[in-house]
Amino acid sequence: MHTSYEPPSTGINGQAADDSAGGAGAAYLFTWDGGSWMQEAFIKASGTAAGDRFGSTVALSADGNVLAVGAANEDGGKSESGAACLY
């Protein structure tokens, strides 16, 4: 029997079908082309972990060039300390 470990999806345009880290969260970026919404990016945290709630808050700059995505329960500093990621 063959088994392999696949780490949870991270970063931009990873595996959207990967739901191995429950509650990790994700953000989808869409652009309006004048007629319809087009998906531009699928975004996961750089350090995907179950329960981190990446995408629990989002903000976009007025010119649309900077996206902030909050991860309320990210563990970078202390457990569940939270983080914001800028793109």
- Cβ neighbors of 74 (< 8 A, separation 6 or more) are 45, 47, 49, 52, 53, 54, 80, 81, 82, 83
Show the site string, 4-43: x = touches Ca ion by CB under 5 A, - = not: ----------------------------------------
Give the nearer residue to Ca ion in terms of CB position, either 11 or 23.
23
**Shortest Cβ 77–Ca ion spacing (Å):** 11
Distance CA 76, CA 82 (A): 7
Residues that bind Ca ion (CB under 5 A): 52, 73, 75
